[in-house]
């Protein structure tokens, strides 16, 4: 079966998170239409995300070899093993959905820590003396980014304000994921009516996008 990796980055439970609510709407609609996908969910506020200590690496984005690994403490070995596990899990997927809020014009910090874990030499990236390239162009992959924000994001300023979306689009395109789609759930902060309207609009967009993919 193909693999759908659903990554959430919000400490709120789903029933009070706009990004997670719209994310679930997309997941349900997509799986209803595509029953050949296996779903794997990753909550970045619940899983173990190692901090990337310099002792874990022998080069840029390249983890230590076996000899150095054997000299690490048990906790350090678990961190290295976890980094490898996360990177391989990401590479094994065919379809990705990320649901996160906009915080300070970006996404929450655990998502960046996750990206640092999964971008590893000879797994998702290849760094050579005169060339750097992504390794995820070996087959067709798709990314859907669902972002909520408290205030409205004017479309004229979207690229200048929405640093999370533009960063993710750029980094995943570099890795080899060419198909990138975005659902923005804006204006969720001020009143319950505005939040409800924004979420319902996002859910409609999610169902519409899922029907096309």
Q: Binding site membership for FMN: which residues?
A: 17-19, 148-151
In this structure, the number of other CB atoms found within 10 A of the CB of residue 35 comes to 7
* Residue of 166, 146, 152 lying closest to 96 (CA atoms): 146
Judge whether 19 and 101 are in contact, CB under 8 Å.
yes
Sign of the four-CA dihedral 170, 173, 174, 175: positive
Residue count of the chain, please give it: 213
Q: How far apart are the first and last CA of the chain?
A: 17
Judge whether 89 and 49 are in contact, CB under 8 Å.
no
63: which 2 tokens?
Answer: 């983890």
Q: Which residues are annotated as a binding site?
A: 17-19, 148-151
């Amino acid at each position: 079966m193909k693999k759908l990796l659903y990554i959430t980055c919000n400490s709120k439970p789903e029933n009070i998170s706009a990004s997670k609510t719209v994310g679930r709407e997309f997941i349900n609609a997509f799986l209803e239409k595509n029953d050949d996908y296996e779903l794997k969910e990753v909550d970045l506020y619940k899983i173990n995300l190692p901090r990337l200590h310099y002792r874990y690496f022998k080069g840029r984005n390249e983890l230590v070899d076996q000899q150095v690994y054997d000299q690490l403490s048990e906790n350090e070995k678990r961190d290295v093993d976890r980094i490898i596990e996360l990177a391989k899990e990401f590479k094994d997927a065919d379809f990705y959905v990320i649901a996160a809020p906009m915080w300070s014009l970006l996404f929450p910090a655990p998502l960046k820590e996750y990206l640092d874990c999964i971008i590893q030499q000879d797994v998702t990236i290849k760094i050579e003396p005169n060339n750097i390239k992504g390794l995820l162009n070996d087959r067709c992959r798709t990314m859907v980014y669902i972002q909520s924000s408290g205030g409205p994001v004017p479309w004229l300023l979207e690229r200048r304000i929405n640093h999370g979306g533009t960063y993710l689009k750029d980094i995943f395109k570099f890795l080899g994921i060419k198909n990138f789609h975005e659902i923005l759930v804006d204006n969720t902060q001020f009143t319950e009516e505005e939040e409800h309207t924004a979420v319902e609009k996002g859910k409609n967009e999610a169902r519409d996008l899922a029907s096309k993919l």
